Amino acid sequence: MKESSREPRTASQPEAKKHWLYRSENLPKLWVIQILVLVLAVLPEFFLHHHPHFEERGFTLDGTFAFYAWYGFLACAGMVALAKVLGIFLKRKDTYYDE
């Protein structure tokens, strides 16, 4: 499928004129901020007690360390992968129905 071929404006613009979000020197900083936020979100794990919802059924996975974090990450990765695979069969050019 055709990727958008138009050159983004940022590529031709001098670095200083760009919004700071788009300056390449700031990209590592943005990642650092994101990782910091993720660490902050996991920190309370050490103080909170998980209550597994389905203990009587022998399922205690939701009581494991940072369950919601890794489950959310894996679920999203799985869905992106599934969409990628289905896209092979389902995607058509966006003018497909126009004829």
Please report whether residue 73 would count as binding another protein according to CB under 8 A: yes
CB of 51 to another protein, least distance (A): 7
Rg for the chain, CA atoms, rounded: 22
Residue of 25, 22, 28, 20 whose CA lies nearest to 8: 22
CB of 65 to another protein, least distance (A): 11
* Alpha-carbon torsion (89, 90, 94, 98), positive or negative: positive
Q: What is the residue-wise DSSP string for 49-62?
A: ----TBGGGTB-GG
CB-nearer residue toward another protein: 9 or 28: 9
In whole angstroms, give the CA distance from residue 89 to residue 93. Answer: 12
Please report whether residue 22 would count as binding another protein according to CB under 8 A: yes
Q: Could you list the residues that contact another protein (CB under 8 A)?
A: 1-4, 6, 8-10, 13, 18-19, 21-22, 34, 37-38, 41-42, 44-45, 48-51, 53-54, 56-57, 59, 66-73, 75-84, 86-87, 89-94, 96-97
